[in-house]
Chains A and B, each alone.
Chain A
Amino acid sequence: MNNQEKLKSAIEQDFNPTNNYKEIIKKMEKVRKMKRINDLLKWSLVPICIIVVISGIVFSNYNKDNNNLLENNPYVDKKDNIILNINDLSKIGMTKLDADVKIVNDVNIPYPFKANEELYIIPSDLTQNKNFIVYTKKDKNSNEYNVIANYTMLITDGNDRNIEIKYSKDQQPLRDYYFNEDNSKITIINGINLKIYQYEENFYTSFSYNGYNFDIETSNITEQEFANYLISIFK
Chain B
Amino acid sequence: MTSQSNLYKFNDIYDKTHLDLLKYVIIKCHNVSDTNDIIQETYLELWNIINKKKLNNNNIKSYLISIANNKIKKHYTLLQKIRTISIYEKNDKDMELIDLLEDKINIENFVIQKDNWLTIWKYIKSKKNQDIPKVFYLYYVLELSIKEISKELKKSESYIKNLIYRTLKELQEKFGKGGYS
Contact check, B117 vs A4: say whether CB atoms are below 8 A apart: no
Q: Which of B2-33 contact A (CB under 8 A)?
A: 2-4, 6-7, 14, 18-19, 22, 26
Contact check, B108 vs A15: say whether CB atoms are below 8 A apart: no
Asked, given contacts A2-B108, A96-B4, whether A7 binds B140 with beta carbons under 8 Å apart, the answer is: yes
Contact check, B4 vs A28: say whether CB atoms are below 8 A apart: no
How far is it, in angstroms, between the C-alpha of A171 and the C-alpha of B3 when the chains are bound? 26
How far is it, in angstroms, between the C-alpha of A51 and the C-alpha of B43 when the chains are bound? 29
Contact check, A6 vs B4: say whether CB atoms are below 8 A apart: no
Contact check, B108 vs A24: say whether CB atoms are below 8 A apart: no
Query: What 0/1 readout, one digit per residue, does chain A (1-40) give for beta carbons within 8 Å of chain B?
Result: 0111011111111110101110110011001000000000
How far is it, in angstroms, between the C-alpha of A9 and the C-alpha of B141 when the chains are bound? 8
* Majority DSSP secondary structure for residues of B touching A: helix
B88 neighbours in A (Cβ, 8 Å):
none
Asked, given contacts A20-B36, A20-B39, whether A7 binds B107 with beta carbons under 8 Å apart, the answer is: yes
Q: Which of B30-48 contact A (CB under 8 A)?
A: 35-36, 39-40, 43-44, 47
Contact check, A96 vs B40: say whether CB atoms are below 8 A apart: no
Contact check, A7 vs B7: say whether CB atoms are below 8 A apart: no
* Majority DSSP secondary structure for residues of A touching B: helix
Residue B98 is within 8 A (CB to CB) of chain A in the complex:
no
Among B18, B36, B121, contact of A7 (Cβ-Cβ < 8 Å): B121
Range of interface residues on B (Cβ < 8 Å): 20 to 34
How far is it, in angstroms, between the C-alpha of A4 and the C-alpha of B104 when the chains are bound? 12
The minimal Cβ–Cβ distance linking A59 to chain B, given in whole angstroms, is: 14
Asked, given contacts A3-B108, A4-B140, A20-B40, whether A10 binds B118 with beta carbons under 8 Å apart, the answer is: yes
Asked, given contacts A7-B120, A24-B40, whether A97 binds B4 with beta carbons under 8 Å apart, the answer is: yes
How far is it, in angstroms, between the C-alpha of A19 and the C-alpha of B7 when the chains are bound? 17
Contact check, B40 vs A27: say whether CB atoms are below 8 A apart: yes
Among B6, B35, B117, contact of A15 (Cβ-Cβ < 8 Å): B35
Q: Which of A141-168 contact B (CB under 8 A)?
A: none
Asked, given contacts A20-B36, A20-B39, A23-B36, whether A11 binds B110 with beta carbons under 8 Å apart, the answer is: no
Contact check, B47 vs A24: say whether CB atoms are below 8 A apart: yes
How far is it, in angstroms, between the C-alpha of A200 and the C-alpha of B7 when the chains are bound? 21
How far is it, in angstroms, between the C-alpha of A20 and the C-alpha of B26 when the chains are bound? 15
A11 neighbours in B (Cβ, 8 Å):
121, 136-137, 140-141
Residue B68 is within 8 A (CB to CB) of chain A in the complex:
no
The interface of chain B, by Cβ under 8 A from chain A, is 2-4, 6-7, 14, 18-19, 22, 26, 35-36, 39-40, 43-44, 47, 107-108, 110, 112, 115, 117-118, 120-121, 125, 136-137, 140-141
